[in-house]
Structure 1
Amino acid sequence: MRQGLRGCRCHTWWLAPDVAAVRIVVDRAAAIARCGVSVEAHVNRILEQEYSDVFPKEVPPGLPPVRGIEHQIDLIPGASLPNRAPYRTNPEETKEIQRQVHELLDKGAINNITIRYRHPIPRLDDILDELSGSIVFSKVDLRSGYHQIRMKLGDEWKTAFKTKFGLYEWLVMPFGLTNAPSTFMRLMNEVLRPFIGKFVVVYFDDILIYSKSMGEHFNHLRAVFNALRDARLFGNLEKCTFCTDRVSFLDYVVTPQGIEVDQAKVEAIQSWPTPKTVSQVRSFLGLAGFYRRFVQDFSTIAAPLNALTKKVVPFTWGTSQENAFHMLKDKLTHAPLLQLPNFNKTFELECDASGIGLGGVLLQEGKPVAYFSEKLSGPVLNYSTYDKELYALVRTLETWQHYLWPKKFVIHSDHESLKHIRSQGKLNRRHAKWVEFIESFPYVIKHKKGKENIIANALSRRYTLLTQLDYKIFGLETIKDQYAHDADFNDVLLHCKDGRTWNKFVINDGFVFRANKLCIPASSVRLLLLQEAHGGGLMGHFGAKKTHDILASHFFWPQMRRDVGRAILKKNIKMWEECLPHIEFAYNRSLHSTTKMCPFQIVYGLLPRAPIDLMPLPSSEKLNFDAKQRAELMLKLHETTKENIERMNAKYKFAGDKGRRELNFEPGDLVWLHLRKERFPDLRKSKLMPRADGPFKVLAKINENAYKIDLPADFGVSPTFNVADLKPYLGEEDELESRTTQMQEGEDDEDINTIDTSTSPHIQHDGPITRARARQLNYQDECPRGRVDAHHKFAATIGDGVSVAKAQRLWTVVVGP
């Protein structure tokens, strides 16, 4: 039975290393299960009996065969040949030279005069994408792969080097030569060309074989081994891995579920000391940047560290750099599993932008495939919030366009306006360019449902906010040792020994409390709490009173109200778009002056919890209400709220009625009309334009609050107005006949005769007629009595709220030249 295993064909589903746990799906392969032979033993038998010549312990002596791909060195025409003196060595180095001569090869000289050629090297992310859907992997590593390639005949002398033992030249391709990687990749692509892209990926001397079943995998292994045998390429069995569901490849760990970070690299990151120089920062960023696809918002987190690598920036390791350093280490230590893309499933894209960076995540069935992040710089930092969100979408599409072009995908956005990209009528040049690129993709935009309830979404992040708060105040553990040296609470320690209570103070577990409120000594913790209560978390930058109420419900220290007033005297926020959700939450949580309750409390019967409420502080016991008691409580709460609203409405009405008088007009009365901006937008385009017009005749009284007036048709609005928009006209009725409208229907436009000021020094055309100028004109002794009366009427008109410009026009009509 064991002799029949060599020719059998195993088609299995890989479950475990032991074949006893493997389900065999063909008849002859049942012999393996009955004999208890492991897959590892089966693979070893194949290697020993069929392909022992492909995996020798040492590379066979002699030169590699001429395969048609040899390393060629083309010298730059006219370049002088290098001729350097031999190295000076001591006896110990001489022994090492005798053992390994190639270490003395100086390849820099020949590389400087060699023409450089380029051969395409496969992208790492493209290699990993090919592994999607595979469940079993094998890795083959060549033994001294470069030395298995011949130097081209006639180019050996170009690799010559001197030693004290003589002049040597390479017959096989050594490491370090220009174009050596390109030559090696050309050979590997030529040897394995029939299999690349089907079940083989090659990256220099690393060959990864992947399959969707175990039986298929054995066939793939034999095909690769035969190709290596035909090309006389030899593998290093010690570095090979066969028939496994977890393989380390190019510093990644590949599994059927996806790719992970190599734990060896994670340990190196965890033990990385705090950088002391710019070069050490670059080294850390180089290692961390290799795994940036596993870290969401990598560029934003690493921004403080990247700032240190600039030439013009002095090296200053501060708090922001320390936080970024530890956050990157933590993110990489707990890096998620990235799913390999499945092109039969729908891709989902999420992107977002902040003040300093943007990021995105590619998902399938809610599982991340890759992360993308980019630090903003230059003019992009000055973009509006909408432009940054749109730019983030464009950059993520550019990064993953090879995934997204063939098939329709979904874009999840928390920015509502991005849903209406296609319906925008007018676009500026930048938006038009972006929208044209976006429209080349078959996408569907969906608004994130989790963002529809902003308060619930904010509360869902309470763990993160609480963690940040705990980090800011160091868990409050540091204040225990500060009480004894604090001027505010050192006397409390003397009076409250042995658990005694003094002046509402008590000590519990080293902390000082006053009426169940934690006492905070004079230290930086006070400032941190002030910042958190005023502008951190979900507080909303309210005034001193509300900020004090929030703090006073949890903490105590003398003169807290004074400290709160000083802390909130700062510049106004300039990023309102990002703060609006927090402001909405803070408003719904703050005490309303009319209802004497929070809006959230009125609707739900309880106060929402802010990050500062989630800290484990002592509090009084609260009863658990059953459903009936809860309903009674809500009913009483609503009744109290209604009474408060009615009482405040009566107070507002009393204050508003103080300066209000009742107006009644009769048909035929003349009134001024207030030009409201909403109703007369063309007449109120500028703040310098008139705010009133008239006088107009009242035609009819509609009701106590509305009147119909004789409004010219050129105004284009209904002639019915509220009494609040009307004011009585104090002039004579015959003045109405002299009123001119803005446009006379059926008449030709002509210039209005101007006032001749040569004989009347009282009327001046330089600038508008102000109240002071009208008052001066009233007391001119030379002015006729009729004109003085008109001046009085003009001043009274202005005093009634009519604009100066309209009164000036009326003055020209009434007084006349």
Structure 2
Amino acid sequence: MALVDTGAAVSIMSAAFKARLGRKVTFLLEKAITFCGVGGNSLCPIGVCTAAVLLSDQVFVTEFTVLPRSTHDIILGIDFLRMCGATVDCRNGEVIISDAVPHGLIENSGTESGALRVYEDTVIPAFCAVRVPVASSHINDNKTSFDALVEPFHLSCIKKNTLVPHSIVSVSEGRSDLWTTNYSNEPVLLPGGLKLASFKEYSPTTVAVLSDVRRDEQVTACSDSSKVLPMVDKALTADKRRMLVDVLLKYLQVFDFSQSDHTPSIPPFRIRHRINTQTAQPIRQKPYRVSPSERKIIDNQVREMLQKGIIQESSSPWAAPVILVKKKDGTWRFCVDYRRLNSITKKDVYPLPRIDDALDCLHSASYFSSIDLRSGYWQIPMHPADKEKTAFITPDGLYEFNVMPFGLCNAPATFERFMDTILRGLKWNVCMCYLDDIVIFGRTFREHNERVDIVLECIRNAGLVLNSKKCHFGERQTLVLGHLVNKDGIRPDPSKTAAVKACKPPRSTKELRSFLGLCSYFRRFIPAFADVAFPLTSLLRQGTSFEWTHDCETSFNQLKFLLTSQPILRHFDPSAPTEVHTDASGIGIGAVLVQRHSGKEHVIAYASRTLSKPERNYTVTEQECLALVFAVQRFRSYLYGRPFQVVTDHHSLCWLVSLRDPSGRLARWALRLQEYDFTVSYKSGRKHADADCLSRMPLTTTLCDADNFDHLIASVTPVFPDKTTFENEQRKDVSLEPLFAEARASTMAGRFCVREGLLYKRTFSATGSRFLLVVPHTLRS
């Protein structure tokens, strides 16, 4: 039995029924084509076949899409009903065929139909319609030009995700143009020779109906649904997915489906970013030296930003240099070094939300949706008076930003103020907003959908554009600020303690000593620590062989459990002093996020990973710096926008943040650290057992951190003595006078040398720096 379905865009035939008919199937050899079912599920067709349908004593030849399984043998879709000019009588449950010549059928005028084929290779951009040149071998001997009625060739349209409307075109000497629409989200190539449509010459009396508005609307609706479906959680039922899709379809314009350059227009009423440098004189830096190939890359990126309106040419007295940072995929990231500008900028103390407040509002919620702004900072314009302060210099010119650039220290405050303005009255009640993290929540699915509707309306009213690839709707659990949230409650992200939980039993006395060093570091929080650790500490006694027993295994597992539970692993307290302890060894890097309560240290999270083979060839300083970058990225949700202290056992790390003209990986790391407000302090290795253990017993997987420069935002303030102070302390240290004398008298191969007034010791170790700074006694720990 056949089903008449006005909601089906194409007519369907089941594979089983096709086999009984013995029809030949034209297989779809192009990439897989999928259709959207009534429940939102994907339907993958086998191919297309042609069959004759007898209806009201009339025979209609139509194309059917063949599916592996179908609820009915035949489903007559809206394409067939329009072709035969059918009228659906809902009251009487009848399908009426008009006596008039139906749409898509042409009276026999005595002329033979011809095919219109693509004349030359043509590319149609995503979601665009273009005039495609076509040609036909069918030429009327009596006319060089004539009008023709076009009938789309549905097989080509389905395979290429295109739409050719029924239309009248003028054919001149066998050539014409056809409007062709690409309704997919990627460009489509129509190769020369592809049959796009068929046509017949006609007179005005041979056409009954030409309007096809409904068909276009049907295809558009199906295309729009396919855009938003990937953002909806697949775990939802078909009915719930359809309900959520209906909400999202109302706000298609807020997503970046049609934003080819992802640079939306900015309404004139939007908040503008200010840079308050008070009475400071303009800072004008010289451009960093670059190679010819890097110069070409800078020029291309500047030209692209000029075309998008992100920047403009400048005559500013300010100038900051540009650094190119190579990403993992081999492409280059254009970055501006605003560190000196940030150092003289008056800080904006607009409050960032407390993490515990943000998480508290999510209690008892069962459904979550997270949305992400497309290039959020670039959606906030610069104040006209402060554009000149964003000026950057390249080898070929001076430019300034029209929008808020990455790397400015007050950008987080401006962004948070902006989001609070557009979501006023909704924050904490309808949604949670922490900088660019917006989470919509609801106790029931209906409440959740209503809140999604409200928030997206605010986003649309503000003229913002969302990143469709990073928006997720209708999820039952979500990761927010380092915590996993679902209807059962809020718990820490399991990855926080994975570094300790995944520790394997020590295989040597050295590894055991390192693990016990971590445990001893927090032993004051472990009840009866000596008793619990006794089987392990016994192995460290002189003359005892290393033999791993069942008691050792029990002690090891119990200590791991105690290290990852209360009171050792505390919740983050935004009001408490925060420290990040980092360390690197020859095999891995480790980090511990620590806060102080009543003078005592409490762990918030652990992190570690092994070094990759190339990373093991880094110098000691580079490995220590890598550990710092890894730590602040892993703990970003806790550290971003708040001051904190980095504790290291490597002196050279204290100088990293004040490097001038950095290059290579140091440039990438220094720029990544711009977004954090921290100080660096030194602690000897013997007092640094927590991070040291994690670096020597890291997770076995190597997790390479991604080059994500979406937020390069804040200032860095080292507490290491400045160069003048250090030089004075060296000169006052009596014990260093013989070394200064040796440096002045020695040749290029001497042990000591003086560079820019500072005393260094030469070293030719392959794993260390070539010059080691000599630390005076007054500055030693």
Give TM-score scaled by structure 1 length.
0.31
Give TM-score scaled by structure 2 length.
0.32
Which structure features the higher share of helix residues? 1
